[in-house]
Amino acid sequence: MKILIPIFFLIFFSGCTTVKPKPQVDNSPVYKIIAVAQTEVSSEGDTCADATGTIRLYENGVYGLAKDSFGRGYTITGKANASGEITGGFALTIVTAVDFKGQLDIDKKHANGTWEDVYACKGTWKATKIIQS
């Protein structure tokens, strides 16, 4: 019995002294994105929606989140090449609903382009770099 008590305390206290991992810092630039519909009505007769959100621009990729004017959430993924061309899509769950393309300015503070969804809604988008302190 004397051996079991120290083992119990060792197991109990070893589980209580976990070291918290350091949070990883993501220094990739963040952009506020605004997508504006220029088509009023979709091919199915529904109102086309605007969207706002944020994206992160990585070395060769784009990732972010947005919500449209009806509150639907989108995951934004895409690619960026060395000349600043950006392409990708806005997805609802796993289905890409909106394709976009555009160009990153040479100063990398702004980007803009066009988008089109699967229901023939079309528009433009603009991204502005958020200054991080």
Domain containing residue 106: CATH number: 2.40.128.120
pTM greater than 0.75: yes
Give residue 133's pLDDT band: very low, low, confident or very high (50, 70, 90): low
- Chain-centre distance of CA 101, in angstroms? 15
What integer is the mean pLDDT of 64-85? 94
Which domain, by its residues, includes 38? Answer: 22-129
pLDDT of residue 3: 46
pLDDT of residue 59: 80
Domain-located, residue 61: yes
Phi/psi of residue 16, each to 5°?
A: -90, -10
- The residues pairing with 57 across neighbouring beta strands, listed in sequence order, are 62
Count of structural domains within the chain: 1
Domain-located, residue 47: yes
Domain-located, residue 119: yes
Tokens describing residue 107: 């100063």
What integer is the mean pLDDT of 62-88? 94
Nearest-angstrom CA–CA distance, 34 and 92: 17
Give residue 25's pLDDT band: very low, low, confident or very high (50, 70, 90): low
Nearest-angstrom CA–CA distance, 131 and 133: 7
- Tell me the residue type at 100: F
Domain-located, residue 45: yes
Nearest-angstrom CA–CA distance, 130 and 64: 14
